[in-house]
Structures are given as structure tokens and as C-alpha cells.
Amino acid sequence: MKFIVSSESLLKELQILGGIINNTNTLPILDNFLFHLNEGQLILTASDLETTMSATIKVESEDSGMVALPARLILDTLKTFPEQPLTFVKTEKNTIEISANNGKYSVAFQNGEDFPKSTQIKDPIKTQINGKILSTAINATLFASGNDDLRPVMSGVFFQFNTSELTFVATDAHKLVKYTRTDIQAEKNAEFIMPKKPLQLLKGILQGVKESVIIEYNETNAEFSFGNIRMISRLVEGKYPNYEAVIPKENPNVMQIHRVDFLNSVRRVSIFSNKTTHQIRLKIAGANLQISAEDLDYSNKAEERLGCEYFGDDLQIGFNSRFLIEMLNNISCEEIKLSMSLPNRAGIITPMDEVDEGENITMLVMPVMLNE
């Protein structure tokens, strides 16, 4: 088994796959990358049993074979090389010899046959989505997913695909984001929950990808393939909560405000809030928004005023500033709309501009009880 490969292109692909590998693996073989040579193609694979990702690159070779090489050692070595061709040769001493311009390196390998085989999805439903749109959907929702091990269904993003639109939802019970595209449809109605880790990896890889991503899924697994990358992940089991039930339908009190001004003001005032509750108070009357916070334990207090457009009754409502900041950070627009009904009902944030045709974003943030 022998092949010649560009050091830079090999490093680029292995760095992407490296994100899958856990620091502590139950199976030692999972600390390795699988190198599967098939004549002029090299398929590189990494897995943590839940998610498997592979990338295919072109190499100079007429051989075939399969070996598992230690991920950390290979990555650390490749990072030090300038761009050059590297020759990999399997020796009789059960090592892979790597020849570079000015040196030779021997790495012990493990049998590639011992590497877990990736799942084949049976009877999948197929949906095609533009890479940029999928990246936007993941970016818009992923931050709102939960981290509670007792509620695993809320630790992922809910993909709800039907013949009229695609919807992506994430919630941790304090905040909720719903991202919908009415300009893309699926062949059949289907829904599944994608775990957080593979989506974080996809979020990084999809930046700048303009081509289509093919998503194939059934009840247990989903596969994402685009370019030379293929990622298959086990889905989160369970039924997603009825998120529509928590989105208030009647919200007569509506404030329009410049997003960055609002964000910066909330950031500053929240420094003075209680370190446990992170509570800030919004007091809206006429065209005037007053943002305040205080920490009675340390006698810290802050208050700012901003101009806004407001339609509705005078209102005082409390929010956890961390959730508000997260939401305002993860929405890209000049102006936002904050719709509210009562101080004990959720507030809904929607963008006023910079929204694509067919794109809808709804962000819901739960209020906190105000200390009078």
C-alpha cells in the first residue's frame, strides 16, 4: 500500500474530521483516523460511534488498502510541514513510513478492518438544501438548544420538513428560536432531532459552501453530503415538545428599535445586574425605553434611556439579560421588533429587515418576575 498526497490538502481534511474525535473514547480505535485507499482516491474517516464523518481526496496511487493511524500524532506532524508531497508506504514492520522533503517518519498503525463501519441509511427520505441556507438555519437556532442531560430532546435542533416549507427549531425552555424557509420544500413530511455536536461541526464546515447539501434521513439516522464530505449521525430519540403552544399569538404591545443600540445598552446595564438572576427591567412608555438593573447585595445600579417606536400600553417587563444578549447577537438586521402582551408572557423578537425572500425568524424569550 503506497500513495503520494499533498500535505496541505491532507491536513485541511483531517482538521475538519478531527472535530469528531472525543478526548476520551471507550474504544481505543476511535483515537485514529481511518485511511481507506482505493487506487487514486483516499477516503479519510473519523467517528465517535454517534457521528461518522468522511472526506475523499485525490492521491497518486494504484494500490488499495485500509489502515487506522493515530489522529493526534498525524495532525501534530502535518501542522509543522510546509506544502509538499508526502509519500505514505506500508512496511513489513506493521508501520506506515511517511517520506517528506527532508525526513522520514514511521507510525505504527492499527488494522483498518477494526474501525467501526458507518451506518447505511435504509429507505431514506431525501431533501436538498443550499449550503448557505443550511448554515444560516443552524447558526440561527443552535445557540438556543439546551444542555440538560435529563431532557435530551431539547439538546438538539428539531428539523421539521414538509411539502410546503422547512422549519428548524431549538429551545432550552427559557428561549426558543424558530427558523422557517417557505422557498424550499421536502418530498414528504418528516421530522427529526439532530444532536448538537454534529451540527456544531457542520456550522464550521458550511461557511462559504454555496453548493447544495443533500440530506437523507430515516427514523434513526441522518446523512449530510456535499462536495467531498459525508457525515452520518444518529438522531436524538424522543418526541419534540409542542413548541407552537408556547408562542403567544396575540401580542398587541410592539416596540421597534435599532438592534445594535439596544444590544449595547443591555450589555452595559446588565453589568450592574444581580449575578444570579441577570435580571434587567424594560420600562416602555410612548417613544421612550428605559433599561435598568440593580444588584441590591452590592448596591450597584444602572439605568439607560433609548428612543424607540412603540405601539401599545405602557409596560414594564423583566428579562434575563444573558438570553436577550444571545438573541440580539444571533440575528443579523438593523432594526428589530419586540412584541409583548403581558409582563408574565414571553416576548417575541423578529427582524425588521435584511431577511431573504421566504425566510422567517421568530425568537422567543421568557420573562422573569420583577422585584418591585
pLDDT of res. 270: 97
Are residues 258 and 234 part of one domain? no
Q: Which of 74, 92, 114 is the last residue of a domain?
A: 114
Measured distance CA(311)–CA(313) in Å, rounded: 7
pLDDT of res. 150: 86
Amino acid identity, position 285: A
Residue 317 lies in a domain: yes
Measured distance CA(171)–CA(156) in Å, rounded: 9
**CA angle at 252 for the pair 246 and 313, rounded to the nearest 5°:** 125
Q: In what order do the strands lie in the sheet with 95-100?
A: 2-6, 85-90, 95-100, 103-108
- Full domain range(s) for residue 315: 249-368
Residue 120 lies in a domain: no
Residue 33 lies in a domain: yes
Give this prediction's pTM.
0.92
Measured distance CA(116)–CA(46) in Å, rounded: 10
Q: How many domains does the chain have?
A: 3
pLDDT of res. 206: 93
Residue 296 lies in a domain: yes
Q: Which of 55, 90, 114 is the last residue of a domain?
A: 114
CA torsion through residues 200, 268, 257, 284, sign: positive
Are residues 253 and 356 part of one domain? yes
Residues 309 and 300: beta-carbon distance below 8 Å: no
Are residues 177 and 161 part of one domain? yes
Q: Read off the CATH number of the domain in which 69 is found.
A: 3.10.150.10
Residue 156 lies in a domain: yes
Are residues 176 and 91 part of one domain? no
pLDDT of res. 372: 63
Residues 233 and 194: beta-carbon distance below 8 Å: yes
Are residues 362 and 270 part of one domain? yes
Residue 119 lies in a domain: no
Mean pLDDT by runs of 10 across the 372 residues of the chain is: 96 96 92 95 96 97 95 96 96 94 94 93 93 94 92 95 96 96 92 96 89 95 96 96 93 97 98 95 95 93 96 96 96 95 95 90 94 66
Measured distance CA(350)–CA(364) in Å, rounded: 9
Are residues 98 and 192 part of one domain? no
Q: Which of 244, 277, 312 is the last residue of a domain?
A: 244
Are residues 262 and 235 part of one domain? no
Are residues 273 and 341 part of one domain? yes
Residue 135 lies in a domain: yes
Are residues 264 and 195 part of one domain? no
Are residues 214 and 153 part of one domain? yes
Q: How many CB atoms lie under 10 A from the CB of residue 285?
A: 12
Are residues 271 and 363 part of one domain? yes
